[in-house]
Amino acid sequence: MSVDPGRYAAPVRRSGGEAEQQPVIVRCARRALAPDPLRVLLLHGLCSNGGVWDPFLPLADPRCELWTADLPWRGTGVHGWTGLPVETWADQAVAAVPGGPDVVIAHSFGTSAALTWLDRWSTGGADARGPSAVVLVSPLYRATAEEFDWNSLAYYVNNFDRILIEGMHMGPSRRLPEERRHTIAMKIRDLVSPYGWFQFFGTYLRMPQMRTERMTMPFLLVSGGEDMVAAPSDAEALAKSLPDASVHVLPRHGHFPMVTAVEEFADLTNTFLRTRLPGPPSGSPHLTMEHNR
């Protein structure tokens, strides 16, 4: 979960000057600086947008072609986005990358969207191919239903405004007085509405159902040691459930390690990709789910 009201206050514009209202908008943020690129799709968290990845873009490995998605839970949300499961929107982002992504990198609520998409993808036929590697930043995951109790629900309800305020420290709004940030956070909370919050928490509740044993590609999980949204224990539990995963907890960092520790995050990600995907992409077809658009 993340928020940057300084980024979403002004609508993104088309060349004709009309505000874009499509639920999913995917753009190439950086072309690769090497032949045979790795196509990388970046997914953001709740109340954020693709701009949250801006600090990472210039530091990514030169062979990475970077695609950012503005998903329907950006800002205060595109009207009606909660009517469909999050994996539907993730699939639309995947389908918008020409040839499909070789790597998916996701943050916070975006990790939930990625995992639920991967869960549905894993039921595909023998010829289906998903991403070759996945990087999840501040993932939200619990292995069993028993780990969710009433205290879990109360924590995320009662601290929603604090979570939003933390996200505001990552963008231009960090320069505002604390009282002003709190006022804005409360307005954002009300605009997101219980529907947006329930979609976030409802997706979190689905994590024990994920068939992670089918997700055989290598995973890199990065967590902040002081994350108040997605505890490092979530990343560690997810790593145990995956066939091939490594975890890196960055001490003294919170929910946005790809911003607050961007050089360390970039080094971890680049090393992971160079080690686990040393050659050029195979060029074999990528899978996208069929659904009504």
251-281 tens-digit pLDDT: 999 999 999 999 999 999 999 999 999 765 4
Where is pLDDT greater, at 177 or 218?
218
DSSP letter for each residue of 110-125: HHHHHHHHHHHHTTS-
pTM of the model: 0.85
Query: Looking at the predicted structure, is the pLDDT value of residue 17 above 70?
Result: no
- Considering the chain, what is the average pLDDT of its residues? 84
Return the DSSP state at 79.
T
Give the rounded distance of the alpha carbon of 149 from its chain centre: 25
Query: Looking at the predicted structure, is the pLDDT value of residue 249 above 80?
Result: yes
- Distance in angstroms (rounded) separating the CA atoms of residues 3 and 188: 9
User: b/e string for 224-250 if b means 16 or more Cβ within 10 A?
Assistant: bebbebbbbebbebbbebbeebebbbb
pLDDT for 9: 27
Provide the residue ranges of all domains of the chain, joining segments of one domain with +.
Answer: 5-10+21-276
pLDDT for 21: 77
pLDDT for 181: 72
- Distance in angstroms (rounded) separating the CA atoms of residues 133 and 277: 8
- Distance in angstroms (rounded) separating the CA atoms of residues 3 and 20: 19
pLDDT for 161: 79
CATH no., domain 5-10+21-276: 3.40.50.1820
